[in-house]
């Protein structure tokens, strides 16, 4: 990684209050992402500076909300976001990275192998067809679908007391207001992503009254 991007990552981790001990793994992941991006079309973001901000730091901004969680499914994970950065920092949490795109899941398996991430399981499947043996404490996504659809199509993946974590822009207020009664927003958290001007938020959703 270029020195400027590496320095930016270090400053961002410090701003988020995260231990820099995992910075080398994040750097290695980003190097792999940039290497595989052109042939596999993993992300529209091309520069390493933008990848640091919009991918790594954005993904890690939800860390304080996941520290006690043990099983997470990252649906529509794409290039492994937010799953891989979170898995690097939460080695005791099991992450399933779910995506239907074979090129992307091959990339994810390469990352898991090269970084020796034992807490990652890569699954290539459509979310509607994926039925794990054990349900999840959290289903998380950055860009899988609007909030209502995300909850509807992943409902079978979540444990009874589980939560959906939807990482959104601040323009997602309309998605929250349109949410079906089957689902209830437990809280919203304003995410402070270092060096990012765009406002970001986390909507934490639980099963609503009709599902109790």
How far is the C-alpha of 208 from the C-alpha of 90, rounded, in Å? 29
- Ligand-binding annotation for 27, yes or no, is no
How far is the C-alpha of 191 from the C-alpha of 189, rounded, in Å? 6
- Ligand-binding annotation for 76, yes or no, is yes
- Ligand-binding annotation for 81, yes or no, is yes
Residue whose tokens read 């349900």 = 135
- Ligand-binding annotation for 162, yes or no, is no
**Using alpha carbons only, what angle is made at residue 71 by residues 146 and 129, rounded to the nearest 5 degrees?**
55
Binding positions for S-adenosyl-L-methionine? 76, 81, 127-128, 142
Binding positions? 76, 81, 127-128, 142
């Amino acid at each position: 990684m270029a020195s400027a991007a590496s320095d930016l990552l270090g400053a961002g981790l410090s701003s988020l209050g995260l231990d820099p001990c995992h910075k080398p793994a994040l750097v290695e992941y980003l190097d792999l992402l940039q290497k595989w991006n052109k042939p596999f079309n993993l992300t529209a973001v091309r520069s390493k500076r933008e990848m640091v901000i919009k991918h790594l730091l954005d993904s890690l901004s939800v860390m304080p909300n996941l520290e006690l969680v043990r099983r997470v499914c990252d649906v529509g994970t794409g290039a492994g976001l937010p799953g891989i950065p979170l898995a690097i920092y939460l080695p005791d949490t099991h992450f399933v990275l779910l995506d239907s795109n074979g090129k992307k899941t091959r990339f994810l398996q390469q990352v898991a192998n090269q970084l020796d991430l034992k807490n990652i399981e890569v699954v290539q499947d459509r979310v509607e067809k994926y039925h794990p043996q054990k349900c999840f404490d959290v289903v998380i996504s950055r860009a899988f679908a609007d909030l209502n659809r995300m909850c509807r199509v992943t409902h079978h993946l979540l444990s009874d007391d589980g939560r959906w974590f939807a990482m959104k822009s601040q323009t997602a207020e309309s998605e929250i207001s349109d949410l079906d009664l089957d689902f209830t927003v437990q809280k919203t958290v304003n995410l402070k992503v270092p060096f990012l001007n765009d406002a970001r938020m986390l909507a934490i959703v639980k099963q609503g009254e009709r599902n109790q």
